[in-house]
Every structure is written in structure tokens, then in C-alpha cells.
Amino acid sequence: MYDEIFKKIEFYNQNKQVIHKEILEKINKAFDIDFTYNSTTIEGNTLSLIETKAVLEDNIAIGGKSLREIYEVTNNNEAFNYVKNAIQKNENLNEEKIKDIHEIVTKNIFQGGIYRSTDIAISGASFTPPTPNDMYNQLKFFYNDLEENNKKMNPIELSAWTHAEFVRIHPFPDGNGRTARLIMNYQLMQKGLLPINIKVEDRLDYYNTLDKYAVQKDIIPFMNFIANIEEKRIDEINLVIKQQMSSDNI
């Protein structure tokens, strides 16, 4: 279904070494800032992209912003670094990793890594997450399926399912969306694909495709949503590779 994407990522993996180190570092740093900005803004954070960059890159305090918003930004960036380090160690995503990621996401805000004990509602969603008793049962299946699906699903399907099913269950009192986008990228990166950035301007399509999965268990729209973003990201990086190849051959 996504053969073209896998061909493009194969080209990337075979030729990424031609990108000059300083250029690659600049690309990765820009992505990290953009990812944190969009992931926190989707959840209501009011820091602009420039303010997010100032906090993460320059350690500049932003006047008029709450400590919570600052922590959301710094925590998301720290959690993404945690994900990247875990992948470098070739560690599979599991319950312990997800709890650790959530604990970093909510550091200095509330104690993370602890499942909710009350009912919860998602504003604007067509579904209601399971009650705590049902949630614990569904989490057992989720973690079992996580291990099995890691063996049989292609990377895009795996990342889409991991994100969508996690959000449907909504196991934590807050921070589920940010955690879901981090574990989605965990799955993509561990399988050799590039991490993706779901932009705030695309959140309506994002919410609708997740809603369709939660209500109808139809993962295809969300898979395609992720695939389109992944392909655009690969195309951008491959263009840099091709330009570098052309420049080096002059």
C-alpha cells in the first residue's frame, strides 16, 4: 500500500551520509522545535513558534506565559530526546517506556506515569474513553497487541494503530495527546522511517481520522493521514540529499 514511501526511505537510508553534518544538525534541530511547538499548541499551549525556539534553544524566559506552558514545551522536547535515546539503544516500545514518556511530558505539572482512576471525556469527540475498570482491561490487550503488532504490521500501520488505540483508551488524566504523538514517532523511527510533525493547521483532519478509528475501528484514514505527512518529510530530506549530491559532483 505504501511501496513508494518505502522506496523513498530506502533511498534516504542509502544516501543520508552525503548530507553535511552541520546541515543535518540544523534540519534535526528545526524539526525538534517545530514538533514541540505543534504538539503543545494542539493541546492549547499559547507559545508561538518563535517563543518555543527561544525557550528550547536560547533558554530565554517568556513574559506573560504561565510556568505550566513553559514546562509543557521543555518537557515535550525532553521526552522526544528520551525517545531518540531509547531507539539508539534498540529498545522496543512497551508499558514501562510509555509511562516514562508520560512522566517526562507532565514533569513539574503533575505526577505522570500513573493511570487515571476517574472517568474522562474528550471535548468534541464522538466517543467516550472507557471507564477505569474497562480501561485497565483494554490496556492489557493494548500492550499484548503492541508486542504482536510490532512483528506483523508495516511501520505506518503500526505507528497509526499505536497512536489511535492509545488515544481511544486515554489511560492518563492529561497529556495523552502529546504522549500519543511521541509514541507514534517512536514506532516510525524504530522501523527506519522519519519522525513526523502533525501541524496545528491540520488538526481538524487529525481529529476526524482519530475519531473515525475510535467509533468505527477504521484505521485506514489515519494511516493515510500519517503516510501523507511521512512522504512529504521524506521528499524534503531527499531533495537535500539530491542537491548535495549534485553540488559534490560539480
Number of domains in the chain: 1
Per-residue pLDDT of the chain in tens (250 residues, 90 and over written 9): 689 999 999 999 999 999 999 999 999 999 999 999 999 999 999 999 999 999 999 888 888 999 999 999 999 999 999 999 999 999 999 999 999 999 999 999 999 999 999 999 887 778 899 999 999 999 999 999 999 999 999 999 999 999 999 999 999 999 999 999 999 999 999 999 999 999 999 999 999 999 999 999 999 999 999 999 999 999 999 999 999 888 776 5
Note whether residue 250 is domain-resident. no
Note whether residue 175 is domain-resident. yes
What is the C-alpha R_g of the chain?
18
Catalytic: which of 20, 102, 163, 170? 170
End-to-end CA distance of the chain: 38
**Which own/partner contact pairs does 89-93 have at CB distance under 8 Å and 24+ positions apart?**
90/190, 92/147, 92/150, 92/190, 93/146, 93/150, 93/162, 93/183, 93/186, 93/187, 93/190
Active site residue 170: yes
**Which own/partner contact pairs does 243-248 have at CB distance under 8 Å and 24+ positions apart?**
244/18, 244/19, 244/20, 244/23, 245/15, 245/18, 248/18
C-alpha cell at 147: 508486542
Establish how many alpha carbons lie within 13 A of residue 76's alpha carbon, considering only the half-sphere containing its beta carbon.
33
Note whether residue 173 is domain-resident. yes
- Distance (Å, rounded) from C-alpha 199 to C-alpha 182? 14
Number of neighbouring beta carbons within 10 Å of residue 21: 8
In whole angstroms, what separates CA 177 from the centre of its chain?
9
- Distance (Å, rounded) from C-alpha 96 to C-alpha 102? 10
Note whether residue 249 is domain-resident. no
Number of neighbouring beta carbons within 10 Å of residue 96: 11
Q: Which domain holds residue 220?
A: 3-244
Note whether residue 93 is domain-resident. yes
C-alpha cell at 57: 534553544
Note whether residue 52 is domain-resident. yes
Q: Report which secondary-structure segment, H or E, holds 38.
A: helix 21-42
pTM: 0.96
Whichever domain contains 220, its CATH number is 1.10.3290.10
